[in-house]
Amino acid sequence: MTLPPHKKSLTKDPFMGILMLDTTFPRIIGDIGNPQTFDFPVRYRTVKGATPERIVVQGDKAMIQPFVSAGRDLIREGAIALGTSCGFLALFHKALVAALPVPVFSSSLLQVHLAQTLLKDGQKVGVLTARKSCLNHEHLSAIGIADIPMAIQGMENFPEFTRVFIGGQPTLDVDLCRREMVSAAMHLIKEHPAVGPIVLECTNMPPFADAVRRVTKRPVFDITTLLNSAWAGCRW
């Protein structure tokens, strides 16, 4: 199955602003970049030059100011809160929060704090990430989760996910990607049986979250659970 790239959707109502990486891959329902994912108004702003290579692989802090500028644009248009389309932007969290006057929900990984409160003795928070090799102590420290017990599984060895969401290819085999996500989740559980709740770092993973919940029988949090909660808490 192949799907077209997402199209922007604008609204005149109060809205959640979403700062997007500069990508060309498809945005299916459930993905942060598809406005049909949400039950509330969203508006997108692409940050030019913010490619997965620069954000995920390089962690290029020269991109902080372009994100701040894009956030200010959305706030001027009426955004009451901001999210982002990449969990690796946890690295920029403090800078974005300091520079922008509305609440900023930079990364799905903010929910690791919540997941920790659900752990039983001896358990760990599970994390599924686009690139385990790139998710380092600096990212975790930036949002205060470095000392939380975690088991992290990356998608580097899953070719369809990597081809599209890291390689930027314009077509997606949805069924194959779902199977890869399930395989990654089951590998995480097999290698780390003490994993409790699971957090999906990557904002392209939520279309497959229900499948992960079914096979792991564990709570699964992703960017949509974060932004749904954020909207409920921030709207007035």
Residues 121 and 201 in one domain: yes
pLDDT of 236 higher than 80: no
Supply 25's token pair: 């891959």
**In this predicted model, what pLDDT tens digit does every residue of 155-203 receive, in sequence order?**
999 999 999 999 999 999 999 999 999 999 999 999 999 999 999 999 9
pLDDT of residue 176: 99
CATH of the domain at 156: 3.40.50.1860
Would 8 be classed as within a structural domain?
A: no
Decide: 111 and 226 in contact? Cβ < 8 Å. yes
Residues 79 and 174 in one domain: no
pLDDT of 2 higher than 80: no
pLDDT of residue 150: 99
Residues 113 and 218 in one domain: yes
Residues 79 and 173 in one domain: no
Range of the structural domain that residue 130 is part of: 109-222
Supply 53's token pair: 């290579």
Residues 117 and 217 in one domain: yes
Residues 25 and 123 in one domain: no
The total of structural domains in the chain comes to 2
**In this predicted model, what pLDDT tens digit does every residue of 88-137 receive, in sequence order?**
999 999 999 999 999 999 999 999 999 999 999 999 999 999 999 999 99
Would 58 be classed as within a structural domain?
A: yes
User: What mean pLDDT do residues 13-34 have?
Assistant: 96
- pLDDT band per the 50, 70, 90 thresholds, residue 13: confident
Would 168 be classed as within a structural domain?
A: yes
**pLDDT averaged over every residue in the chain:** 95
Would 10 be classed as within a structural domain?
A: no
Residues 98 and 153 in one domain: no
Residues 31 and 49 in one domain: yes
Residues 91 and 119 in one domain: no
pLDDT of 8 higher than 60: no
Decide: 172 and 3 in contact? Cβ < 8 Å. yes
Would 35 be classed as within a structural domain?
A: yes
Lowest-confidence pick of 2-16, 64-78, 193-207 = 2-16
pLDDT of residue 1: 33
Would 136 be classed as within a structural domain?
A: yes
Kindly provide the residue ranges of all beta strands, DSSP E only, lying in the chain, ordered along the sequence. Answer: 15-20, 42-46, 79-84, 104-105, 124-129, 150-154, 195-200, 220-221
Residues 183 and 212 in one domain: yes
Residues 176 and 125 in one domain: yes
pTM of the predicted structure, to 2 decimals: 0.93
Distance CA(26)–CA(34), nearest Å, equals: 9
Would 7 be classed as within a structural domain?
A: no
Residues 85 and 45 in one domain: yes
pLDDT of 69 higher than 50: yes
Would 5 be classed as within a structural domain?
A: no
